[in-house]
Amino acid sequence: MGRRDRCLNRCLVPGVFAAVGVPLLMIGVPLWAVVPHADANHAKEVARLPVTTAATLNERGARVLIEGQVSDRMAFSDRPPVVAYNEYHPGSEGRVYAPTLWVQIPGKEVEVTAGYRIRSTLSQVGIYRSSFEVNDPVLVLGTLSVTGDRPVVSAAEIGFETKETYLASLHEQSMNRQMGLLFSVLGSLLTLGGGLDLYLIWRRIRGDW
């Protein structure tokens, strides 16, 4: 076997390491960095909170979780029939339209103060939703600031989902980030291992020559 063949054989293993490690890094780093971090305490809070009813909107300052529908008293935005939206374009800040939101639940109408956060959520038909129309289902998580006949929820976030689907999305985010971290670590080890092996091979080849 010639010197060139021995060199090629020695470089095969680090080449395989790099061929596997680099793609893992390319998948893992964006997955870990881009997927939102789902705080475990937040997931526990959502799981603990019962779905609010008209009878339980009575404790000012309490965290509430509301499943309802967008009320028909909402006025159209500049994109009718949409009444609230979070518009995002890559490379720009996007635009958020989050006016006072009226949410209908059995027996009562709830006001959600303007400026709430709109979550981009996967709908049942397989598309991501970050806008709302009248009668759309909506999940509200916030703080009850006013009680009585016209309850008000402040500092809220809303999504086109239910409590069950929200918890499932938090779990999925957590799993995706863990997979991204795992791929990143494995990819880094394989790439570094291949680079180190290649350096040692180069040192041995220089010694042979």
Could you tell me the residue ranges of all domains in the chain?
A: 3-35+172-208, 50-162
Provide the pLDDT for residue 32.
Answer: 67
> Nearest CA to 118 among 72, 87, 73, 152?
87
Q: Under CATH, to which class is 50-162 assigned?
A: mainly beta
Question: pLDDT per residue over 97-136, tens digit each?
Answer: 999 999 999 999 999 999 999 988 765 545 567 899 999 9
Q: To the nearest whole number, what is the mean pLDDT of the chain?
A: 82
Tell me which of 109 and 15 has the higher pLDDT: 109
Statement: residue 139 has pLDDT above 90: yes
Which of 57-66, 146-155, 190-199 shows the lowest mean pLDDT across its residues? 190-199
Which stretches does DSSP call E strand in the chain?
A: 63-70, 82-87, 95-97, 101-105, 108-112, 117-118, 121-122, 128-129, 131-133, 137-146, 152-159
Q: What is residue 179's three-state secondary structure?
A: helix
pLDDT of the residue at 25: 74
Residue 180: which H helix or E strand, with range? Answer: helix 163-208
pLDDT band, residue 189 (cuts 50/70/90): confident
Q: What is the pLDDT of residue 143?
A: 97
CA distance 58 to 157: 20
Which one of 37-46, 69-78, 123-132, 168-177 scores highest in mean pLDDT?
Answer: 69-78
Phi and psi, residue 170, nearest 5°: -65, -40
What pTM does this model have? 0.68
Looking at per-residue confidence, does 48 or 189 come out higher?
Answer: 48
Q: For residue 195, how many other CB atoms are within 10 A of its CB?
A: 14
In the predicted structure, residue 4 carries a pLDDT above the cut 60? no
In the chain, % of residues over pLDDT 70: 78
